[in-house]
Each structure stands twice: as structure tokens, then as C-alpha cells.
Amino acid sequence: MSAALPLVPVDDLERLAARTWRGSEEEAHGDWLLRAGGGFTGRANSVLVVGAPPSDPSSAVAEVTRWYRARGLRPCAAVPMPGGEQADAAFAAAGWTRDEDNLVLASSLVGWAERPPSTPVTLAAEPDDAWLDGYRYRGAALPPAAAAVLRTGNRPVFASVRLDDRPAPLAAVARGVLEDGWLVISAVTVAERYRRRGLAIAVMAALGADARARGGRACLLQVAASNAPALALYERLGFTEHHRYHYRTAPALR
């Protein structure tokens, strides 16, 4: 990792990221953090497994299961590595299935965030209907619970690019939250008809410049290990892997 980056332990960086994308309900379970957000995104609807639970791992898994079942949600755990090995084994022993790795990438805000965006980018404190329509979560339109989750965090900033007049959709959108000097970027989406024009870099650069003006020093984002095009883009911008995490999901009720 670049020497320009602050040295932050895995658990601390996970807690920082969790403050930028929150569930509508959160509750501590020892050091673990239970989160529920109407089922929108794994981050807002999983227990963050950092530190130690208040009981032995198998009892903690059972309590986590009860907490999510009581809210009508399928129990899910976000397990960062390294550090989550013992908890991960307890979830596996209880029959929870493992999802693919997600990479937590980090970069200094020096370089790519200093370049002027290649096209005009609008920054807003609230996501309007056009922004919400432009963000495609796993390729699909957003559920009703999404707007509340997107507004969580300390002063989120919503970036957008419009290349054609309404009713054409926005060309690109992204979301950024500055937390303790770290810009956490999420929801980077470029509409299919506007791809390969550098718009992902443009919205990220606009968020990066805004964060630098407010004292930001570094950037963090999360991406699935299987998303090769996104990984190639972030590597070109100088992002490197800080750590990984994966989700564990409880068996479905019969």
C-alpha cells in the first residue's frame, strides 16, 4: 500500500466505513454491530463481525439469528479478513453459506482526485428522483427502503452527470461520504449507453476534489472480487487492496 495512506487496522477501517452506510436500525452486540435497513444492501442488513461478541461464538451466532428473524430479514454477517477467522468458523458450523470475496480498496487523494473531471459533474446534498433512477443496484431499480439508507452517514454527497436533456436518464452517478479524513465512495453507476467515456472517473474525481477541500486525505471503496472491469479501473487510478470481507448467510427457513 502507498506510503501516503494512513495506516489503519482492518477493524478500525471497517467501523469507519460502517458509519458511512448505515442501517435504519443498529444495535451493538459486544463489539459486533447489528444492522437492519429494510433489506437494501448487505452492508445495511448484516452484522459487522469486528472485535468480540459478548458470548462464545456459537451463542453469538444464535443471538444474531434471532435478531434478524425478528425483523423479517434473513440473517447475514459481514466477516472481514484477516481477523474474522474464529467467527467465520462458527457461522460455517451453523450452516451459514459463504458468498464471494469483496475487496476493500484504498488510495491517496493525491493524483486522480486532483484532476479536473473530464465532463461537468453536479454535486448535491440530497439524491433527487433522477439520481435514484440512475443508481442501479445489482442492475436493478431501487426498492423503497433505498432512499433512507442512501441518506445515512455524515453529510453524504451525490454526484451526477447529465449529457442529454430530460427525459433522458443521467449518464452517471456516485455517492461519497467523508469520515475522519477518508472519502468512502459507493454507488458508482454509469448508464449502459454512456459507458467508455470516462464518466466513472469523472464522478469519482469530483467527489475526491470536494473531499480534499474539506480535509480528506484518502479514499476507500468496496468492490466484488469478480468485477474485473471495475478492478481494472481502480488499479489504473492507484487503488490497492487493504483487506477483504465476505458475507455469510443463514439457511432459509422452510
- 41-85 pLDDT, tens digit each: 999 999 999 999 999 999 999 999 999 999 999 999 999 999 999
pLDDT band at 4 (very low <50, low <70, confident <90, very high): low
CB 91 within 8 A of CB 248: yes
Longest Cα–Cα distance in the chain: 58
Shortest CA distance to 117 belongs to which of 27, 183, 203?
203
- Is pLDDT above 80 for 118? no
pLDDT band at 232 (very low <50, low <70, confident <90, very high): very high
- Is pLDDT above 60 for 1? no
- 161-212 pLDDT, tens digit each: 999 998 999 999 999 999 999 999 999 999 999 999 999 999 999 999 999 9
User: To the nearest 10°, the Cα dihedral for 104, 109, 113, 115?
Assistant: -140
Instruction: Tell me the CA distances in angstroms from 197 to 37, 40, 191, 192, 194, one per residue in order.
Output: 34, 29, 11, 11, 7
- Is pLDDT above 90 for 136? no
State how far the Cα of 116 lies from the Cα of 201, in Å rounded to an integer. 10
> Which pLDDT score, from 0 to 100, does residue 12 have?
97
State how far the Cα of 162 lies from the Cα of 176, in Å rounded to an integer. 18
> What is the amino acid identity at position 124?
A
- Is pLDDT above 80 for 6? no
pLDDT band at 16 (very low <50, low <70, confident <90, very high): very high
> Which pLDDT score, from 0 to 100, does residue 253 have?
80
Q: For residue 14, give the H/E element and its range.
A: helix 10-18
- 27-43 pLDDT, tens digit each: 999 999 999 999 999 99
To the nearest whole percent, how much of the chain has pLDDT over 90? 87
Q: How far from the centroid of its chain's Cα atoms is residue 252's Cα?
A: 25
Shortest CA distance to 138 belongs to which of 21, 250, 40?
40
Note the pTM of the prediction, 2 decimals: 0.92
pLDDT, average across residues 4-23 = 92
